[in-house]
Amino acid sequence: MPQLRPAVTRRHAPNHASMNGESSSSAAKKAGAASDAPPGYELPWVEKYRPRFLDEIVGNSETVERLKIIAKDGNMPHVIISGMPGIGKTTSILCLAHELLGSAYKEAVLELNASDERGIDVVRNRIKGFAQKKVTLPPGRQKIVILDEADSMTGGAQQALRRTMEIYSSTTRFAFACNQSNKIIEPLQSRCAILRYARLTDQQLLKRLMEICEAEKVQYSDEGLAALIFSAEGDMRQAVNNLQSTVAGFGFVNGDNVFKVVDSPHPVAVQAMIKACYDGRIDQALETLRELWYLGSPSIYGSVAEWMWGRLLTAGMRDKGYSAVDLISTMFRVTKTIDTISEHSKLEFIKEIGFTHMRVLEGVGTHLQLQGCIARLCRINMRKPT
Ligand SMILES: Nc1ncnc2c1ncn2[C@@H]1O[C@H](COP(=O)(O)OP(=O)(O)O)[C@@H](O)[C@H]1O
Ligand SMILES: [Mg+2]
């Protein structure tokens, strides 16, 4: 694994160190000097530790290998990179463009993302204008149009790209990044090589987080890192952002602090609830659910209030608790990982939680809905022949 680079203040540093044959120490000095400039200001770590070379991208190694070959040989095909957010799609395209074009990056790359206007006029004017522009490039290299978050482009704009892509393909290549490749119209898909990125594994997230912790001298506990990984669900951007927020808010990364920052139910509490269901201790399971639902309100107060004033009073107290969707999806993810529950019960639990999730998504995300789910989970083991 290559070393993390020192602070990079600009993502699109036009003088890419590797292409200019610049020594890494002088690149480091330059980056260091730049990051010293505004006192008291710190870049978000997601930007600071955004990989600058394809080599540094974590995960999806087969696909990244293909990109590396393209970076080496030139002649980039039109590509679509698709996958969930925060796994390195934009970064890969930027690295690829930098490695292909080096110091010509600024002139030879047109970068448009969701924050830019990308309607049909932009395709007709800006993209076409860029495609017609003459730029002197090393042999075998083409200009690159990067269309980030391409799935949010209108159908009309995508249609208008078809001809442009064909007519200028000898001088201009297109790279799309999107969350869902099916939102890209078929004719564009058929012109492109489609690369799918998978979510990152826990080990990959862990390794990267530990490297960042080391570089930033972060104090952490193992359980803190586990919490970051649990809450990120394979999304590196979220993991790194949550790490930085936890450090900024608490100075120490442990499980409790992380779950306060990400504001999601603590899996330990949820696990206790599921285990209580497994053992048939329904009172305890409902009590834990109540605590999560009314977070911090004394249970007796909660139950009296609920009983006497119904929604009038409890609605105000509810402000602090977790939403039904958060609770049910954490229940699902926790249940998957509990070892002490038998395989059969686990499947039954997941089925029941799945049905409740469906009802919650349909709009019935009430306390009663979750209480019903808990009751059904408790019943599962009662039915089991002994
Ligand atoms: N595979 C990865 N390797 C290393 N860092 C990553 C990776 N994926 C995402 N990151 C981190 O998350 C940030 C956002 O990544 P980005 O490529 O913009 O994600 P997206 O897939 O949503 O386009 C990057 O700046 C980087 O810090
Ligand atoms: Mg992106």
- Give 101-156 as a DSSP string: HGGGHHHHEEEE-TTS--SHHHIIIIIHHHHH------TT--EEEEETTGGGS-HH
The residues near 70 (Cβ < 8 Å, ≥ 6 apart) are: 76, 77, 96, 100
pLDDT at position 26 over 60: no
Which of 95, 237, 241, 243 has most ligand 1 atoms within 8 Å of its beta carbon, as the pocket-test mutant?
237
**pLDDT band at residue 307 using 50, 70 and 90 as cut-offs:** low
In sequence order, what are the residues at sequence separation of 6 or more whose Cβ sits closer than 8 angstroms to the Cβ of residue 211?
A: 1, 4
Q: Which atom of ligand 1 is nearest to the CA of 177?
A: 23
What was the pLDDT predicted at 38?
Answer: 55
User: Distance between CA atoms of 374 and 353, rounded to whole angstroms?
Assistant: 9
Q: Is 67 helix (H, G, I), strand (E, B) or coil?
A: helix
Position in ligand 1 atom list of the atom nearest CA 45: 27
Q: 235-291: per-residue pLDDT in tens? A: 999 999 999 999 999 999 999 999 989 888 999 999 999 999 999 999 999 999 999
For the ranges 10-19, 20-29, 226-235, the one whose mean pLDDT is highest: 226-235
| Average pLDDT value for residue range 91-109 | 92
Widest Cα–Cα separation across the chain: 79
Our answer on whether the CB atom of 173 is closer than 6 Å to any ligand 1 atom is no
Nearest atom within ligand 1 for CA of residue 197: 21
Q: Please, is 129 exposed, middle or buried when counting C-beta atoms within 10 Å of its C-beta (0-12, 13-18, 19+)?
A: exposed
Residue 11 clears pLDDT 50, i.e. is over it: no
* Model pTM score: 0.79
pLDDT of residue 15: 38
Residue-wise over 274-300: b if at least 16 C-beta within 10 A, else e? bbbbbeebbeebbbbbbbbbbeebeee
DSSP H/E element including 219? strand 219-220
For residues 44, 49, 53, 58, the Cα torsion angle rounded to the nearest 10 degrees is: -120
Ligand 1 near 8 CB (within 6 A)? no
Q: Is the CB of 91 inside a 6 Å radius of any atom of ligand 1?
A: yes
Nearest CA owner, ligand 1 atom 18: 90
Cβ(237) – ligand 1 distance below 6 Å:
yes
Provide the CB-side half-sphere exposure for 360 (13 A, CA).
22
Residue 95 Cβ inside 6 Å of ligand 1? The answer reads no
Q: Is 131 in contact with 108 (CB distance < 8 Å)?
A: no
How far apart are the C-alpha atoms of 73 and 141, rounded to whole Å? 9
Assess contact for 105 and 97: CB atoms under 8 A.
yes
Q: Which ligand sits nearest to residue 11's alpha carbon?
A: 1
Q: Are 67 and 93 in contact (CB under 8 A)?
A: no
